[in-house]
Amino acid sequence: MQVKNEDIIMQANKETPTVSLDRRHDVSKNPLCLSGKGVTREFHAGGTHTIAVNNVDFEFREGELVSIVGESGSGKTTLSKMLLGLLQPTSGDIYFRGKKRDISSGRKKKEYWKNIQAIFQDPFSSFNVFNKIDTVLLDCINMTGGKNLPADKKVELMTEACSFVNLKFAELTNKYPFELSGGQMQRLMIARIFLLKPKILLADEPTSMIDACSRATILDMLLNLRDEIGMTVIFITHDIGLAYYISDTVYIMEHGKFVEHGSADEVILTPKAPYTKRLISDVPKIHEPWDLSTVSGSAE
Amino acid sequence: MGKVMLEVRELTTKYVTRFREDVYAVDHVSLSIEEGKSLGIAGESGCGKSTLALSLMGYYFPPLHYMSGEIIVDGKNISGLDPDTVRKKVLGTDVAYIPQAAMNALNPTRKISAFIQDVILAHDPKANKKDIRDMAEKRFEELHLPKEALDKHAVELSGGMKQRVVIAVSTILSPKVLIADEPSSALDVTSQKVVIKMLRDMMDRGFIRSMIFITHELPLLYNVTDDIMVMYAGQIVERGSAKEMVFDPVHPYSRGLMRSILVPEDGTRNNKLIAIPGTPPNLKHPPEGCRFAERCKYAMPSCRYNSMPIIDFAPGRQYRCGHSVSHLREVYASEE
Residue-wise pLDDT tens digits, A98-145: 899 999 999 999 899 989 999 988 888 888 889 898 899 999 999 888
> Could you tell me which residues are beta bridge partners of residue B318?
B239, B312
Hey, are the CB atoms on A213 and B189 less than 8 Å from each other?
Answer: no
Between positions 247 and 286 of A, the ones with CB within 8 A of B are 264-265, 268-269, 278-280, 282-286
Of A14-18, A99-103, B195-199, minimum mean pLDDT range: A14-18
Q: How far is A209 from chain B (nearest CA, A)?
A: 9
Hey, are the CB atoms on B219 and A283 less than 8 Å from each other?
Answer: yes
Q: Is A211 on the interface with B (CB under 8 A)?
A: yes
Instruction: List pLDDT tens digits, range B218-274.
Output: 899 999 999 999 999 999 999 999 999 999 999 999 998 888 888 888 888 888 888
The set of residues, in sequence order, having a beta carbon less than 8 Å from that of A192 and lying 6+ positions away, is A117, A136, A137, A140, A161
Q: How far is A100 from chain B (nearest CA, A)?
A: 35
What mean pLDDT comes out for the span B118-123?
A: 90
What mean pLDDT comes out for the span B286-307?
A: 89
Buried b (16+ CB within 10 A) or exposed e, A32-60: ebbbbeebbbeeeeeeeeebbbbebebeb
Task: Say what the pLDDT of residue B172 is.
Answer: 92
Q: Tell me the ipTM for this assembly.
A: 0.81
Q: How far is CA A49 from the centre of its chain?
A: 29
Residue A175 has pLDDT above 70, yes or no: yes
Sign of CA dihedral A292, A293, A296, A299: negative
Task: Say what the pLDDT of residue B105 is.
Answer: 83
Distances (CA, A) of A38 to A55, A93, B106, B226: 4, 7, 42, 49
Query: Which residues in chain B are contacts of A295 at CB distance < 8 A?
Result: 190, 193-194, 197
Hey, are the CB atoms on B274 and A19 less than 8 Å from each other?
Answer: yes
CA angle centred on A242, ends A240 and A247, rounded to 5°:
95
Q: Strand (E) positions, chain B?
A: 4-16, 22-34, 38-42, 64-73, 76-77, 95-98, 177-181, 211-214, 227-232, 235-241, 272-274, 311-314, 317-319
* A115 closest CA partner among A71, A60, A52, A155: A60
pTM for this structure?
Answer: 0.86
Please give the DSSP secondary-structure letter assigned to residue B281.
P
What mean pLDDT comes out for the span B91-113?
A: 87
d(CA A80, CA A235) in angstroms, rounded, equals 10
Please give the DSSP secondary-structure letter assigned to residue A55.
E
The set of residues, in sequence order, having a beta carbon less than 8 Å from that of A135 and lying 6+ positions away, is none
Q: Is A3 on the interface with B (CB under 8 A)?
A: no
Task: Say what the pLDDT of residue B327 is.
Answer: 93
Instruction: List pLDDT tens digits, range B37-69.
Output: 999 999 887 888 889 998 998 888 888 999 999
Q: How far is A294 from chain B (nearest CA, A)?
A: 9
What mean pLDDT comes out for the span B109-133?
A: 91
Hey, are the CB atoms on A212 and B196 less than 8 Å from each other?
Answer: no
Type and span of the H or E element at B197:
helix B189-205
Measured between CB atoms, which of A4, A11, A244 is closest to B277? A11
What mean pLDDT comes out for the span A162-173?
A: 86
Q: How far is A14 from chain B (nearest CA, A)?
A: 10
d(CA A163, CA A119) in angstroms, rounded, equals 19
Q: What is the mean pLDDT of chain B?
A: 90
| Residue A248: count of CB within 10 angstroms of its CB | 21
The set of residues, in sequence order, having a beta carbon less than 8 Å from that of A40 and lying 6+ positions away, is A51, A53, A54, A55, A56, A89, A90, A91, A92
Task: Say what the pLDDT of residue A14 is.
Answer: 41
Top residue of B143, B262, B297 to mutate, by most chain A CBs within 10 Å, is B262
What mean pLDDT comes out for the span A282-296?
A: 81
Hey, are the CB atoms on B161 and A300 less than 8 Å from each other?
Answer: yes
Coil/strand/helix, residue B71:
strand
Q: Is A129 on the interface with B (CB under 8 A)?
A: no
Hey, are the CB atoms on B265 and A285 less than 8 Å from each other?
Answer: yes
d(CA B128, CA B133) in angstroms, rounded, equals 9
Residue B3, burial from CB neighbour count under 10 angstroms (0-12, 13-18, 19+): exposed
Q: Are B74 and B174 in contact (CB under 8 A)?
A: no
Task: Say what the pLDDT of residue B241 is.
Answer: 95
pLDDT over 70, % of chain B: 99
Hey, are the CB atoms on A211 and B44 less than 8 Å from each other?
Answer: yes
Task: Say what the pLDDT of residue B12 is.
Answer: 94
Residue B33 has pLDDT above 80, yes or no: yes
What mean pLDDT comes out for the span A254-267?
A: 93
Task: Say what the pLDDT of residue B268 is.
Answer: 82
Top residue of B49, B243, B263 to mutate, by most chain A CBs within 10 Å, is B263
d(CA A170, CA A192) in angstroms, rounded, equals 16
Q: How far is B290 from chain A (nearest CA, A)?
A: 14
Q: Which pLDDT band, with edges at 50, 70 and 90, does A212 fall under?
A: confident
d(CA B40, CA A241) in angstroms, rounded, equals 21
Residue A263 has pLDDT above 90, yes or no: yes
Between positions 52 and 71 of A, the ones with CB within 8 A of B are 71
Task: Say what the pLDDT of residue A17 is.
Answer: 67
Task: Say what the pLDDT of residue A26 is.
Answer: 84
Q: Is A45 on the interface with B (CB under 8 A)?
A: no
d(CA A97, CA A64) in angstroms, rounded, equals 13
The set of residues, in sequence order, having a beta carbon less than 8 Å from that of A255 and lying 6+ positions away, is A54, A74, A75
Q: Which pLDDT band, with edges at 50, 70 and 90, does A300 fall under?
A: very low
d(CA B273, CA B290) in angstroms, rounded, equals 24
CA angle centred on B168, ends B166 and B174, rounded to 5°:
130
What mean pLDDT comes out for the span B25-36?
A: 93
> Which residue from A minimizes the CA distance to B298?
A12
Residue A52 has pLDDT above 90, yes or no: yes
